[in-house]
Amino acid sequence: MISNQDDHNPPVVIELAGVEKSFGRQKVLRGVNLQVREGRTLVIVGASGQGKSVIIKHMLGLVRPDRGEVKVFGRDMNRLNRKQKDEVRENFGVLFQNAALFDSLNVYDNVALPLRERTRLNEDEVREGVMAKLGLMGLQEAIDKFPAQLSGGMRKRVGLARALMLQPKIVFFDEPTTGLDAHKSNELYRLFYRTQQQLGYTAVIVSHDVPKIFKLADEVALLAEGQIQGCMSPEDFQLSEQPTIRAFVEETMGHLYSSDREENGLYAQV
Amino acid sequence: MFLLLEKIGSGTLDFLETSGRMGMFLMRALTSMFQMPFKVNPVVRQVHFIGARSAFVILFTGLFTGMVLGLQGYYTLRKFGSEGFLGSAVALSLIRELGPVLTALMVIGRAGSAICAEVGIMRNSEQIDALECMAVDPFRYLIAPKLLAGIIAMPLLTAIFDVIGILGGYLVGTGLFGINPGAYFQGMYTSVVWADVEMGLVKSLVFGLLMVWIAACKGFYLHMERSGGFGAEGVSRTTTDAVVLSSVSVLVWDYLISALLL
């Protein structure tokens, strides 16, 4: 598994093998195989409702697969007890879809929470760490505000600050820019790029934002029909001859949309 | 026929699953109370929320319960010509029975519902997942302080309820019916023994635990509710369930403890 460890093939940090998962009678994942390599950015794309977030939840150990293995740093997440799971999770940072900020805590306390609960720093040191991260995210003025008083973009930035608080080795992004306008999305991508350069973390991103997200990706994986249809560099992905990938690329990067009002026959084949 | 069997089967499975989940929840919550390092601040905050902020409601209900007991007690005791026992009648019924039960029911309505809704919304908006992903144990961070605060606050509130209730009975007895104040308290001194106080204390401790246990557990496993715990409606339904279930459990356990300790 961890064979080539040179620059082109850094070691695998997360590996999903044959992961199957059903919710009730609905089969969401039908044998997902996926590898994430250290320091790289993997982007998982696919239509809504295909189970992209479910894949991330498996990696985080929040969901148990019906079949198959999820290995993080070589450890099978489903065979670990709570304490061992926490050891693995100490390397994680997560930016949830809706940021999942603690809504009864203000911005400062939200970002300070990992430091207060996981380290033995005193309040002065906590303050120093929090202010540094909030400064990086441009949030110094918002420290006293509560999550409900923030705009969507600010909320995501607070979520990112909290996720990066303890220098994680792997950061997960679940739809980081959904609901943000183009300007706010770009801002978040810039922050992502800058912090990854600084901290060198591995990133797993689930996103809809095709093609913009390709600029950040080292590898792109398409999830469709419960399986990973291919995992390759963004360039290869866009030129792939694989029918499902090709259909996805055409759908998301081709014409804006086709409506009934358009000229007859123009999009007839779509 | 098969439909009926299917229903019974799935109902039983659901019941077993829920019971198991609740048992595991209590075990984890209790063990996480003793994990080091112990943090005092969250517990104090919860005692303030469950205890101090319920004090006014408890004062009010306690006073009126005592006054009603004074009225009804006097009416009954007069038939036997033993109005002098009003003090002991009011004190015994409050300390052994009404104090713990009514306090628990009031606090369930005020704080139990709030705990369930708070934890449920945290579950719904992925805040509990976020804690787990940060390797912060949600039981230690979120549940344990509430459980400990419930166990601390409930006996204290019950004590307030008892005292103010006895005072209410006194006001009615002496003010309205002209009972000798000395006789009111003298009867109490002789008839109330430590075993009565102990029973009230045990009950209030158990009720405090029950309230937080059921409310927090219902909220925590909101997503696993069979009736569907999604969205605002899921939270409201689960909160109602939690209040009903904890109120009923309080009455059931009240009977059990009375039967055991008598």
This complex has an ipTM of 0.82
Through-space distance between the first and last CA atoms of chain B, rounded to whole angstroms? 46
Q: Any idea what DSSP says for residue A234?
A: H
B107 by Cβ neighbours in 10 Å (0-12 / 13-18 / 19+) ranks as buried
Distance to chain A for B136, nearest Cα, Å = 7
- The residue-averaged pLDDT of B40-45 equals 90
How high is the pLDDT of residue B14? 87
Length in residues, chain B: 262
A218: number of Cβ within 10 Å: 15
Residue in B with minimal Cα distance to A165? B134
B88: number of Cβ within 10 Å: 21
How high is the pLDDT of residue B66? 93
Residues B192-209 pLDDT 10s: 899 999 999 999 999 999
CA-to-CA distance for A5 and B175, rounded, in angstroms?
90
CA-to-CA distance for A155 and B21, rounded, in angstroms?
34
How high is the pLDDT of residue A50? 83
Residues A244-257 pLDDT 10s: 888 888 888 765 55
Contact A102 B135 (CB under 8 A): no
A-facing residues of B in 108-137 (CB < 8 A) are: 118, 121-122, 125-127, 129-130, 132-137
Output the CA–CA distances (angstroms, integers) from residue B236 to A4, A103, B5, B220, B229, in the order listed: 54, 18, 31, 14, 9
Residue in A with minimal Cα distance to B123? A100
Amino acid B159 reads A
Is 90 exceeded by the pLDDT of residue B166? yes
Task: Among B35, B41, B127, pick the best mutation site for testing chain A contact (most A Cβ within 10 A).
Answer: B127
Contact B126 A98 (CB under 8 A): yes
Residues A49-95 pLDDT 10s: 888 888 999 999 888 899 999 999 989 988 888 888 888 998 999 99
Q: Which residue has the higher pLDDT, B65 or A264?
A: B65
Output the CA–CA distances (angstroms, integers) from residue B117 to A11, A231, B59, B243, in the order listed: 44, 42, 25, 11
CA-to-CA distance for B80 and B75, rounded, in angstroms?
10
How high is the pLDDT of residue B257? 92
Contact A104 B118 (CB under 8 A): yes
Task: Among A53, A88, A89, pick the best mutation site for testing chain B contact (most B Cβ within 10 A).
Answer: A89
Burial letters B17-54, b for 16+ CB under 10 A, else e: ebeeebeebbebbbebbeeeeeeeebbeebbebbbeeb
Residues B83-117 pLDDT 10s: 888 889 899 999 999 999 999 999 999 999 999 99
Nearest to B49 by CA among B104, B114, B4, B127: B114
Pairing assessment for the beta strands A26-37 and A12-23 based on DSSP bridges: antiparallel
Question: How many contacts, defined by CB atoms under 8 Å, are there between A and B?
Answer: 52
How high is the pLDDT of residue A4? 44
Give the containing element (helix H, strand E) for A118: helix A107-118
Contact B125 A89 (CB under 8 A): no
Is 80 exceeded by the pLDDT of residue A263? no
How high is the pLDDT of residue A257? 54
Distance to chain A for B163, nearest Cα, Å = 35
Contact present, A192 and A201 (Cβ < 8 Å): no
Q: Round the average pLDDT of chain B to a whole number and report it.
A: 90
* Of A132-141, A206-215, B161-170, highest mean pLDDT: B161-170
B16 by Cβ neighbours in 10 Å (0-12 / 13-18 / 19+) ranks as exposed
Q: Round the average pLDDT of chain A to a whole number and report it.
A: 85
How high is the pLDDT of residue A3? 44
Q: Any idea what DSSP says for residue A70?
A: E
Instruction: Let me know the angle formed at the C-alpha of A36 by A32 and A42, rounded to the nearest 5 degrees.
Output: 95
Residues in chain A with CB shorter than 8 Å from the CB of B122 are: 102
Q: Is the dihedral of CA B159, B145, A109, B36 positive or negative?
A: positive
Quote the crossing angle between the two packed helices B194-220 and B2-33, to the nearest 10°: 110
Tracing tokens 């804006």 back to the chain, one arrives at: A256
- The residue-averaged pLDDT of B51-74 equals 92
Under the banding of pLDDT at 50, 70 and 90, the label for residue B214 is very high
Q: What are phi and psi of A170, to 5 degrees?
A: -130, 130
How high is the pLDDT of residue A48? 82
The full 3-state SS of chain B, as one line of letters, equals CHHHHHHHHHHHHHHHHHHHHHHHHHHHHHHHHCCCCCCHHHHHHHHHHHCHHHHHHHHHHHHHHHHHHHHHHHHHHHHCCCHHHHHHHHHHHHHHHHHHHHHHHHHHHHHHHHHHHHHHHHHHCCHHHHHHHCCCCHHHHHHHHHHHHHHHHHHHHHHHHHHHHHHHHHHHHHHHHCCCHHHHHHHHHHHCCHHHHHHHHHHHHHHHHHHHHHHHHHHHCHHHCCCCCCHHHHHHHHHHHHHHHHHHHHHHHHHHHHHHHC
How high is the pLDDT of residue A178? 82
Distance to chain A for B124, nearest Cα, Å = 10
